Amino acid sequence: MHYLRFILLLLVLIPAGLFSQSEWIGIETNHQLIYKTSDRGDKIMDFSHAGYRGGGVALPDVPVKKTVNRISGISDYTDLIQEAIDEVSALPLIEGFRGTVLLAPGKYPCSRTLTIKKDGVVLRGSGTDSKESVIVMQGDKHTAIVLNNEISRGTGNRLGTVDTNKFSFKITDDYIPAGASSFTVENALGLASGDNIEICKPVTEKWIQFMEMDNLVRDGKPQTWIKEGSYIITERVVAAIDGNRITLTVPLADSYNSRFTDGNTIGVVANNVKRLKNAGVENLQIESPHQAVNHSDALYYALNIQGEDCWARDIDCIETMESVRIGGRKITLERVNVIRKALHEGASKPAEFAPNGGQVLVKDCSVEGDNIWFVAVGAGQTGPIVFLNCTFKGNGRIEGHQRWSTGMLFDNCILPDGGIDFKNRGSMGSGHGWGTAWSVAWNCKAKNYVNQLPPGTYNWVIGSTGERMRLPRPFDKEGLLPEGIFDSHGTPVSPKSLYLAQLKERLGEDAIISILY
């Protein structure tokens, strides 16, 4: 144990003499992190809240309650496996868990989706190399495994409208900086610690103009980036209340400026969220036929996890497309690998990881393939969304894909022939515009980076190596966009891992030990 603790200190707190120091986050002599802030108080957020149960908690080992074996003569195992899942789903919850369905070694052809709809249920293959139990996809278009109770809809981080039937309150600060954990409300009466709330930032014409998103045109037709009158909605939990001052359990990934919101930022109490909880998928290989097609014609997808405190680990996704989709919050993916040999066709590309949720941790995962998005985050998603020690092989790219995703961290990720983009996508797609802000690439190695600066915000590439690329807004004939922050470019910085250093500072060394690989 003492040896392990020594290794952890090397991993998390590499001495400043060996690595450079970041201008934006440094380490004091007492090993505490020190943050640089903008003139308005903006800073790099604390990403350590990403992951199962809010980070720093080991994934559980849930006891087996049902085993599925290979049976001679069966050509489709969908019903047999689903019946086993349903049987375990009917067991009582004990400390949040019901049990695991274990697949014995072998291949299991399946023609339809396997679905976990009840809390505390796990589907597990045999062996630790994730190759001894194989789901072989066949039949019509479907996703191999879905974790979703189909109860919680229209909740979480998103672009949308405000439910006027819910209890709401006005936020009164003139400016809330990115990375902040507290704000002031007009009247805290009716709010309580533990409340789940949605912080609703109005999209106004003046903000759209400030972001220079009011002039998007494609094929002669105006494009809408984010519709005026909608809201950018961020889900958080109240940690404490002091008078009219509200403190959150997880910091904010965006800034809130009353100059552009007309002072109409509000919060809505949303305590009725009933996501699937404590469900997981483990030790499996998901195998699809080769799909050398455009993603609009794809038949087979691997995982779709819509829940809270859920996970997937030791999963190999072979030849699936748009392989892993995530919604909800507090999700961990660990050693999930996507391997695509069939070349995707067409200019519009699939996203192999689509982490469209909050507090998402993707660690020790990988993607192999060309003409794809390794990672693409959708509209209105707010972090922390963390990719830690991940590897991406091929000419694909990583980006906030469209319409204002905030608070992503790529920590010690490797892309030898690919790139990381924090950029303005202009009129691409359907007017995707500014894809991301307040995002960080930390000690990464990539072929290149497009790191651009949305008005009034920051993006950071820190301690990373790879070519810096300057580009105009797509379809504009001239005008290179301003660059985001490149700090210590070409020289790694200390701490080696930002996520692990932030986690250690918040929860202590044992939290790091609990999630180490």
For 41, left (φ over 0), alpha (ψ -120 to 50), or beta? left
Let me know whether 242 and 186 are in one domain. yes
Would 516 be classed as within a structural domain?
A: no
- The reported pLDDT for the residue numbered 8 is 45
| pTM (2 d.p.) | 0.95
Percent of the residues in the chain that have a pLDDT greater than 90, as a whole number:
88
- The reported pLDDT for the residue numbered 127 is 67
Would 250 be classed as within a structural domain?
A: yes
Domain total of the chain: 2
Please, which residues have CB within 8 angstroms of residue 509's CB and are 6 or more apart in sequence? 5, 8
Please, which residues have CB within 8 angstroms of residue 257's CB and are 6 or more apart in sequence? 174, 175, 456
CB atoms within 10 A of CB 94: 10
Task: Give me the tens of pLDDT residue by residue for the chain, a chain 517 residues long.
Answer: 444 444 444 444 444 456 899 999 999 877 899 999 999 999 999 999 999 999 999 999 999 999 999 999 999 999 999 999 999 999 999 999 999 999 999 999 999 999 999 999 999 999 655 458 999 999 999 999 999 998 867 788 999 999 878 899 999 999 999 999 999 999 999 999 999 999 999 999 999 999 999 999 988 899 999 999 999 999 999 999 999 999 999 999 999 999 999 999 999 999 989 999 999 999 999 999 999 998 998 999 999 999 999 999 999 999 999 999 999 999 999 999 999 999 999 888 999 999 999 999 999 999 999 999 999 999 999 999 999 999 999 999 999 999 999 999 999 999 999 999 999 999 998 899 999 999 999 999 999 999 999 999 999 999 999 999 999 999 887 789 999 999 999 999 999 999 999 999 999 999 999 997 4
454, 366, 516: which is closest to 4 by C-alpha? Answer: 516
Let me know whether 176 and 317 are in one domain. no
Using N-to-C axis directions, what is the helix angle for 2-12 and 498-507, rounded to 10°? 120
End-of-domain residue from the set 228, 247, 269? 269
Count of CA atoms in the C-beta half-sphere (13 A) of 407: 33
Let me know whether 65 and 144 are in one domain. yes
Would 24 be classed as within a structural domain?
A: no
Where are the extended beta strands (E) located within 203-258?
A: 217-218, 221-222, 231-242, 245-248, 256-257
Joined tokens for residue 236 = 């958080």
Let me know whether 137 and 172 are in one domain. no
Let me know whether 201 and 337 are in one domain. no
- The reported pLDDT for the residue numbered 19 is 80
Let me know whether 396 and 503 are in one domain. yes
Let me know whether 305 and 222 are in one domain. no
Please, which residues have CB within 8 angstroms of residue 293's CB and are 6 or more apart in sequence? 344, 345
For 426, left (φ over 0), alpha (ψ -120 to 50), or beta? left
Let me know whether 69 and 99 are in one domain. yes
Joined tokens for residue 11 = 């991993």
d(CA 325, CA 360): 11
Would 293 be classed as within a structural domain?
A: yes
CATH number of the domain within which 64 lies: 2.160.20
End-of-domain residue from the set 229, 250, 269? 269
Would 314 be classed as within a structural domain?
A: yes
Let me know whether 210 and 314 are in one domain. no
End-of-domain residue from the set 207, 239, 269? 269
d(CA 465, CA 19): 13
CATH number of the domain within which 217 lies: 2.40.30
Domain of residue 215: give its range. Answer: 158-269
DSSP 8-class letter at 376 = E
For residue 195, give the 3-state DSSP assignment. coil
Please, which residues have CB within 8 angstroms of residue 276's CB and are 6 or more apart in sequence? 116, 117, 118, 119, 147, 148, 149, 151, 152, 306, 307, 308, 310, 328
Let me know whether 433 and 293 are in one domain. yes
Residue in the block written with tokens 């959150």 = 248
For residue 416, the surrounding DSSP H or E stretch is: strand 414-422
Let me know whether 314 and 423 are in one domain. yes
Let me know whether 416 and 295 are in one domain. yes
Residues 395-417: tens digit of each pLDDT: 999 999 999 999 999 999 999 99
CB atoms within 10 A of CB 324: 25
Would 170 be classed as within a structural domain?
A: yes
Would 35 be classed as within a structural domain?
A: no
Would 459 be classed as within a structural domain?
A: yes
